[in-house]
Amino acid sequence: MMNPFNAFSISPDYSQANALALARVSKLAYEPKGIIERIAWSWKLDFQYYDQDDTQAIILENQDFLILAFRGTEVDPDDILTDLDFWKVSGPLGGKVHRGFRSALDDIWELPDGPWHHIDNMMRSREKKPIFITGHSLGAALATLASAALCEFSYFPMGVYTFGCPRVGDWRFARALNHQIGHRFWRVENNNDIIPRLPPWFFGFRHPGQRVYLSTWGDIIHQPSWWYILRDRLRGRWRAISEPLTDGISDHGSMEYIKGLMIDS
């Protein structure tokens, strides 16, 4: 498999190469441990794997950067219950967040050998590296919460790239996270993907970060207007008219994000 990190940029600015590389890592996080380890080795990256109570995460790193990626939703009762448990609880940085997502992150975050301790030890050492955080679907929600948790300790990620991310917290949480790293938080959304519209806004949930929108024509638009999105979603529905009930689901696939980012790269 081609190494997607050959053009990786250590920058807080949006990078097409970084978005594509991290979309591939988000997809890789769904794979079994052995496959992830083999591919990490082929990419010349060190590898850590975490699995606790059906929450999985990986760390990939070299001397230049560290990437924390969370696995997304699988067809699994525990994952589905996590997604549906959207009562609000206190979140990092203040405000309220989705209870299911917060519980899933708590399962893994502070394990004795978990990702928090790995990152904390690295940041306290002489070898501190830029941190990138990513994930797709449920993994994107966990990436969002992990970013906020790091910010509480002034460990500010160099870049956060999420793909098909559901809404995670209320406006106070979104505002606080934007205040810390909104200029380096990139929320990639593919055309009619239904998941970024869940939980519904009228339950008080809001998105942080800057929207990067993948259009039905293959364009990549930063912070598009609501009018542009409405028209493009209608175009997407028309193009998928033979499958009217599945467009919002098919657009959510992790491979669809990779393909959308490859078109304009």
Catalytic residue among 79, 83, 170, 193: 193
Residue 242's pLDDT is: 56
Residue 73's pLDDT is: 72
Residue 56's pLDDT is: 95
Residue 77's pLDDT is: 43
The rounded distance, in Å, linking the Cα atoms of 86 and 55 is: 17
Residue 247's pLDDT is: 64
Look up 254 and say whether it is catalytic. Answer: no
Q: How many CB atoms lie within 10 A of CB 109?
A: 20
Q: Domains along the chain?
A: 16-263 (3.40.50.1820)
Catalytic residue among 15, 26, 83, 137: 137
Look up 64 and say whether it is catalytic. Answer: no
Residue 233's pLDDT is: 82
pLDDT tens sequence for the chain (265 residues): 678 898 899 999 999 999 999 999 999 999 999 999 999 999 999 999 999 988 999 999 999 999 999 998 754 444 444 555 678 999 999 899 999 999 999 999 988 889 999 999 999 988 889 999 999 999 999 999 999 999 999 999 999 999 999 999 999 999 999 999 999 999 999 998 999 999 989 999 999 999 999 998 889 999 998 888 888 888 876 766 655 556 667 888 899 999 999 865 4
